[in-house]
Amino acid sequence: MDEQLFFKKLNGLCTSKEIFDFLSSVEVMSDTMASGALQRISEVEVDDNGLKNPEEVLENEVFRALCFQFEFESSKLSNTGLLSALQALIKLRIDPQSTLMASLLSEGEERLGKGELTVENLCALGESLLELEGPSCATLEQIVNHMQDKDIEKWSPREVVMVYKMLQVTVREGEQYQDLLNRLNSVTLAIVSQLSPKFTSIILNSLVVLHQTQAVPLVTALCKHSVKHVPYFTGDELVNVLEAFLYFGHHEQVFTEAVETHVPNSILTMHPQTVSKVMQYCCRKMILSKPIFDAVAEGLISDADRFTTDQIAECIIPFGTLNYLPPSASSLFKKLETILHTRFSHFQPHTLLKLLHSCVLIQRYPVNFLPKIFSPYFLQQLQAQPPGLDRIVTSQLTQLFLTVTLECPFYEGPKLLPKYRIKAFLTPCSSVDVHLVKRVKTGLLYLLKKRIYFASEVSTPYFYTVDIEIKLDEEGFVLPAAQCEEVHRRIALCVDGQNRFCINSHNLLGEEAIKQRHLQLLGYEVVQIPFFEIDSLQNCRKMAEYLHKKIFPHTYRLSC
């Protein structure tokens, strides 16, 4: 039978029985036709759970006859027939230790050694070896060495992807393949528009694993190209793409918008790992996407049992970090409390601390669990596991303690021992926008006339640092900043630069929100000076007028 007609008929068959009946009617087959038949059987009989009808396929006389010929006539096969058969038999879960598989592999490796394989053949053999032996397979390096001599410009997208996958497992830092990678990156840049969702994801993942931070044009092109594929990525593929965005520090507003459209529609069927990676992406990029956060909240409320404790924490922590309560907050945190009661011991100590700390940022107080957190046993667990009791961990513990003291006066459980408390909080929000503070100080000098009437970066006994502090006496006179007697009111100016807000938003981050809340509870009058209110003020006089209205809305007097 003519090969073209054979494959046309073969591809129209939908069960192994139909395929075997068809093969029985063909008197003579080339090895390419026979391997194509095995490929088609693997397509119709294999799903995510493996071979659907093992006995019907593996015990079939036609199938066994095909395998017999491939095993004992492997040296007579064409390269395509040999390697296509090998790939199909791997999909069909044929025992890798069988004489059939050993014969095909041995023949493939022998032809590799003789340099007889084309790029397509090399890719097929590499794919088979990765599947059978994993990244530790020594022959993969031999395949990559042969690849270096080939004309990369003529490779198909599939061949490009396969080479990235092999390099991913064979390249070790400082080894000899960077020249090949540079050529490959250059060729890939020219074919980005042809890449499918699967290929886009694989290449981005390879670039991450291979630390290709210098391939900026390719990374940028792939990230832009991935936007149109968002609805079509599988869960694992989307995870790879999100990890690439995070690793390379790339930001693409239209990509975020595409994810924002996709997630709410898919949340109930999306794998928990994908959901938690989307939330991690939003959290690390400081993106407050209310549609995503609201959908994730609903997803957790309806089906949190399918999430691991790590995934639950990764989904909840961004709510605190980005200072957002969804409409379903009441149900969400009731669900979280239930999870903590039933699965408390399943949480890793550091994960649990981050989770409970994120809750207090948005005024959700885990008082039922704090006795365990402040217990010597739990603190020892924290100390025993990396990163131990470092500055960030002790900051979170101290902030939990301070929150209980200031906001939960009814709490009567154990407190955090003084030796675990820090003197000053260390958070991303604690850093000031130097340029912004300088402009505000210049405006204050214009307003108050003398530098002695305000102090900057003032440490308090309560672990927080105040950006700018102004003291007033009982009659409302401004006092010198160094004066400690007769201080009736303390004004804390919070000069909030962009780093204290969610990206492209006026929503204050959780760390800064809790700081301003606590300063108020500690007796300060908190005056927020956000960047977006003063960016447009062109000179000292306008800044002074703005500060006058913010700090002294009625009047002010100097004690001089």
**Please, how many CA atoms are within 13 Å of residue 493, restricted to the half-sphere of its CB?**
27
456-487 as b/e, with b when 16 or more CB fall inside 10 Å?
Answer: beeebebbbbbbbbbbbbeeeebbebeeeeee
- φ/ψ of 527, rounded to 5, equals -120, 115
Is the pLDDT higher at 141 or at 102? Answer: 102
3-class SS at 211? coil
pLDDT at res. 112: 92
Identify whether 533 is part of a domain: yes
Question: CB of 271 within 8 A of CB of 306?
Answer: no
pLDDT at res. 49: 82
pLDDT at res. 425: 77
Identify whether 419 is part of a domain: no
- φ/ψ of 431, rounded to 5, equals -75, 140
pLDDT at res. 168: 85
Tokens 């907050």 — which residue? 329
Q: Torsion over CA of 198, 201, 202 and 208, rounded to 10 degrees?
A: 180
Q: What is the pTM of this model?
A: 0.85
pLDDT at res. 560: 36
Identify whether 461 is part of a domain: yes
Q: What angle do CA 331, 333, 339 make, to 5 degrees?
A: 105
Question: Which strand (E) or helix (H) includes residue 471?
Answer: strand 465-472
How far, in Å, CA of 393 to CA of 416, rounded?
A: 13
Q: Report H helices in 348-390.
A: 349-361, 370-373, 376-384
Question: Could you read off the pLDDT of 545-560 as tens digits, one per residue?
Answer: 999 999 998 764 444 3
pLDDT at res. 371: 95
pLDDT at res. 420: 92
Residue 59 makes CB contacts below 8 A (sequence gap 6+) with none
Question: CB of 235 within 8 A of CB of 271?
Answer: yes
Expressed as residue numbers, the domain containing 495 is 431-552
Identify whether 213 is part of a domain: no
pLDDT at res. 100: 94
Question: Could you read off the pLDDT of 274-310 as tens digits, one per residue?
Answer: 999 999 999 999 999 999 999 999 999 999 999 999 9
Rg (C-alpha) for the chain, rounded Å, is 32
Lowest mean pLDDT among 149-158, 293-302, 393-402: 149-158
> What's the number of domains the chain is made of?
1
Identify whether 513 is part of a domain: yes
Q: Which amino acid is at 467?
A: D
Identify whether 97 is part of a domain: no
Identify whether 13 is part of a domain: no
The mean pLDDT value of the chain amounts to: 92
Query: Would you say residue 2 has pLDDT above 80?
Result: yes
Identify whether 95 is part of a domain: no
Q: What is the CATH number of the domain that holds 504?
A: 3.40.960
C-alpha distance from residue 336 to each of 311, 315, 331, 341 (Å) = 12, 11, 9, 9
Query: Would you say residue 361 has pLDDT above 70?
Result: yes
Q: Which of 438, 440, 484 is nearest to 461 (CA)?
A: 484
pLDDT at res. 543: 95
| Number of separate helices (H) and strands (E) present in the chain | 27, 8
Peptide bond into 387 cis (omega under 30): yes
